[in-house]
Chains A and B, each alone.
Chain A
Amino acid sequence: MSEINNQNNKTPWERVAGNGLLSRRHLLGLSLAGATGLIGSRVLAADASRVEIPQWSKRPGRDPSAYGSPSGFAQDVRRLAGNPNATLPGSGVSRTPLHLLQGNITPNSLHFERHHAGVPDIDPAQHQLLIHGLVRQPLRFRYEDLLAYPMQSRIHFLECSGNSGANTSPQAGDSSAAAIHGLLSCAEWTGVKLSTLLEEAGIAEGASWVTSTGADGASMGRSIPLNKALRDVFIALYQNGEPIRPEQGYPMRLFVPGWEGNVSVKWLTQIKLSDAPANFRDETSRYTDLLPDGRALQFTFPMGVKSLITSPSGQMQLRRQGLHEITGVAWSGSAAIRRVEVSADGGRSWADAHLEGTGQDLALTRFRLPWLWEGGPAVLQSRAIDAAGNVQPTRQQFQEIYSPANRFHYNAIQSWSVSEAGEVKNVYA
């Protein structure tokens, strides 16, 4: 750490790691005079024309509306959606534009999607949730019934187990944060604890697994151990306060906190208790992790500890030298985020980022750190550590465990290079 002086305004900046990483504590503590100085006289001198009252201040605006929509000027804040899939109608993904968002909550219209047979249009009055198998009394619940149950609200991330798989390919693709990592979102989910409904049906002796099936065309099915189901799994009916969106399983989805997204079965219609996993296609053929020796890991449930810098990030362009904020998100499927470190020199030196958020288990945590870009090349990285002590691996550490063909559960450190021209690119470093 060294105290240096900014030549323009004599503001002391405290460097906390190599290549321009600054102490945030110090910046926030600046006096008003110091803060003004930091912005710089260049800006004040640039435009001397009179500042006029804008036209929208001289007439009434639009009427209130029944359901809001974003500003017409913010239309680029959209999911990155693929083309329709001719061989598998309705299947595919749309990705959350992580680099265009702030905070920890993903708006409902921007929550990522992954479907195996499209989004069904379900009439809640005709939808049923059946609980059967190794229970004392098989039960049928209507949507309306579930709305009358005690509920809980939890902020949790959801991540597809194939998220970031693009970075397992041998060459780093020139892609945005959304294109690589956008199968990740975080919302406040509200619903009924699965344990409440299982208690009502009565768990029969010998039950150790729970299979869940959706009402979509693919009747997507997944198995999870009963102990997890009783610990914190719930049936989500609301997403950020409103009924969950069709893309997220309207009228109801299973929500399995911290675990690979695919087990949080959407359009949930059947829960069957059993003494073994069903070994559905999506827990054998897919979502299993191939190892170098040809064997594979099955039921890799909790998502690994992970973080990424969302700004500056891939395909962005730094337009000026000087102070920038490095910001991003961190999460872990095992615990709360305890610490995020940031590097601007490709991992040679690290500084602790400032964490924002609820500090909750299994939720996104926003991090920030000021960075002085002085026009030189840089490689920006972030590394998360969770409260269980798990540390986000490097790409090399990750690749050593798995077959090069494995694209699931990738949680390695993301590197963004910054060129002297200010271009930000996805790189392997």
Chain B
Amino acid sequence: MFTPDLRVAVCLLSLLSWAIPGQAAQSTPNLGQAVSEEQLQGLDLIVMPNGNGLPEGSGSAVQGQVLYEQQCESCHGAQGEGSPGVPALVGGSTTDTPPLMTVGSYWPYATTVYDYIRRAMPPTAPKSLSDDEVYQVVAYVLQLNGLITETFELNRNTLPAVVMPNRNGFIDRSQVQQVRP
């Protein structure tokens, strides 16, 4: 039932061949202004599973605990257990009845924890944490889940190497797109 569709791959190849640029595009007024990737570094918050996009800096769970108690605990609970309307960040299992899906039991990549907290948390002041502070608090959440030790230094090299327990728990359906007749 969940097999990939080869037709999609073939279709992708043919689309790419026409889209490869040589000269200025014909079908557009060409009003886009050139920018450089360097100019976009402050705007681009995307952290890829391979670590691309992670900033300089570092942090440990020991440091993160202080920050967590100040900025996260009121909603997510002292042990990351969550509160009404706020998800738990720790523990659980996808096979319990009912299942509990958290960073520890569900998320496939540790990089997503950095990506999400940096862009969206805390909800009242998103993007207010420094890059180091995000490393710290991510370290604390991972440590509460027993995935790293209290003094482990999280940085752009060590974070992508943290293997999440549910890394292989997902079935990729992205290429199962029904082709319209």
Say whether A associates with B.
yes
Query: Interface on A for B, CB 8 Å cutoff?
Result: 85-89, 91, 116-117, 130-132, 136-141, 145-146, 148-150, 195-203, 205, 207-208, 211, 213, 217-219, 221, 225-228, 230-231, 269-270, 272, 274, 276-281, 284-285, 288, 290-291, 293-302, 334-335, 361, 387-388, 390, 403-405
Q: Please, how many angstroms separate the alpha-carbon atoms of A226 and B9 in the complex?
A: 11
Contact B46 A221 (CB under 8 A): yes
Q: Please, how many angstroms separate the alpha-carbon atoms of A211 and B52 in the complex?
A: 14
Contact B75 A200 (CB under 8 A): no
* Max chain A Cβ within 10 angstroms of own Cβ: one of B21, B29, B175: B21
Contact A139 B47 (CB under 8 A): no
Contact B126 A225 (CB under 8 A): no
Contact B40 A279 (CB under 8 A): no
Q: Which 5 A-B pairs have the closest CB atoms?
A: A202-B21, A139-B32, A299-B174, A294-B94, A281-B116
Identify 22 residue pairs between A and B in the complex whose beta-carbon atoms are under 8 Å apart, listed by A's number: A116-B120, A132-B37, A141-B33, A150-B27, A150-B28, A197-B28, A205-B20, A217-B126, A218-B120, A219-B126, A225-B12, A227-B15, A227-B177, A278-B47, A279-B49, A281-B115, A284-B112, A285-B107, A290-B101, A291-B171, A387-B181, A403-B99
Contact A293 B174 (CB under 8 A): no
B115: contacting residue among A88, A89, A280, A388, CB under 8 A: A280
Contact A298 B173 (CB under 8 A): yes
B32: contacting residue among A89, A197, A295, A296, CB under 8 A: A197
The reply to whether the CB of B130 lies closer than 8 angstroms to some CB of chain A is no
Q: Interface extent on B, as a size class? A: 35 or more
Contact A203 B169 (CB under 8 A): no
B107: contacting residue among A88, A131, A284, CB under 8 A: A284
- Give the nearest-CB partner of B38 in chain A: A138
Q: SS class of chain B's interface: helix, strand, loop or mixed?
A: loop
Contact B48 A219 (CB under 8 A): no
Query: Are A132 and B40 CB-contacts (below 8 A) given A284-B108, A335-B180?
Result: yes
- Chain B residues numbered 126-181 whose CB sits less than 8 Å from any CB in chain A: 126-127, 169-175, 177-181
Separation in Å of the A195 CB from the closest CB of chain B? 7
- Chain B residues numbered 84-112 whose CB sits less than 8 Å from any CB in chain A: 84-87, 93-95, 98-99, 101, 103, 106-109, 111-112
Q: Please, how many angstroms separate the alpha-carbon atoms of A339 and B33 in the complex?
A: 48
The reply to whether the CB of B31 lies closer than 8 angstroms to some CB of chain A is yes
Query: Interface on B for A, CB 8 Å cutoff?
Result: 2, 8, 11-12, 15-16, 19-21, 24-25, 27-37, 40, 43-50, 75, 83-87, 93-95, 98-99, 101, 103, 106-109, 111-112, 115-116, 119-120, 123-124, 126-127, 169-175, 177-181
Separation in Å of the A138 CB from the closest CB of chain B? 5
B16: contacting residue among A86, A136, A203, A405, CB under 8 A: A203
- Give the nearest-CB partner of B175 in chain A: A225
Q: Please, how many angstroms separate the alpha-carbon atoms of A148 and B32 in the complex?
A: 11
Separation in Å of the B31 CB from the closest CB of chain A? 4
* B residues near A270, Cβ cutoff 8 Å: 40, 43-44
Q: Please, how many angstroms separate the alpha-carbon atoms of A296 and B98 in the complex?
A: 15
Q: How many A-B residue pairs have CB under 8 A?
A: 217
Q: SS class of chain A's interface: helix, strand, loop or mixed?
A: loop
Separation in Å of the A93 CB from the closest CB of chain B? 14
Contact B49 A218 (CB under 8 A): no
* A residues near B174, Cβ cutoff 8 Å: 225, 277, 298-299, 301
Separation in Å of the B53 CB from the closest CB of chain A? 8
Contact A217 B123 (CB under 8 A): yes
Contact A335 B178 (CB under 8 A): yes
Query: Are A199 and B178 CB-contacts (below 8 A) given A218-B126, A278-B115, A280-B115?
Result: no
Contact B27 A298 (CB under 8 A): no
* Max chain B Cβ within 10 angstroms of own Cβ: one of A150, A208, A228, A281: A281
Q: Please, how many angstroms separate the alpha-carbon atoms of A277 and B108 in the complex?
A: 13
Contact B126 A288 (CB under 8 A): no
Contact B48 A227 (CB under 8 A): no
* A residues near B35, Cβ cutoff 8 Å: 130, 132, 138-140
Separation in Å of the B138 CB from the closest CB of chain A? 13
- Give the nearest-CB partner of A91 in chain B: B123
Separation in Å of the B62 CB from the closest CB of chain A? 25
Contact B123 A301 (CB under 8 A): no
* Max chain A Cβ within 10 angstroms of own Cβ: one of B24, B37, B172, B178: B178
Contact B75 A284 (CB under 8 A): no
Separation in Å of the B25 CB from the closest CB of chain A? 4
A297: contacting residue among B2, B34, B84, CB under 8 A: B2
Contact B31 A145 (CB under 8 A): yes
Contact B170 A288 (CB under 8 A): yes
Separation in Å of the B78 CB from the closest CB of chain A? 16
Contact B19 A198 (CB under 8 A): yes
Contact B99 A279 (CB under 8 A): no
Query: Are A279 and B109 CB-contacts (below 8 A) given A85-B85, A145-B31, A203-B16?
Result: yes
B43: contacting residue among A130, A288, A390, CB under 8 A: A130
Q: Please, how many angstroms separate the alpha-carbon atoms of A89 and B120 in the complex?
A: 12
Q: Please, how many angstroms separate the alpha-carbon atoms of A130 and B29 in the complex?
A: 17
Contact A334 B180 (CB under 8 A): yes
Query: Are A299 and B123 CB-contacts (below 8 A) given A138-B37, A141-B32?
Result: no
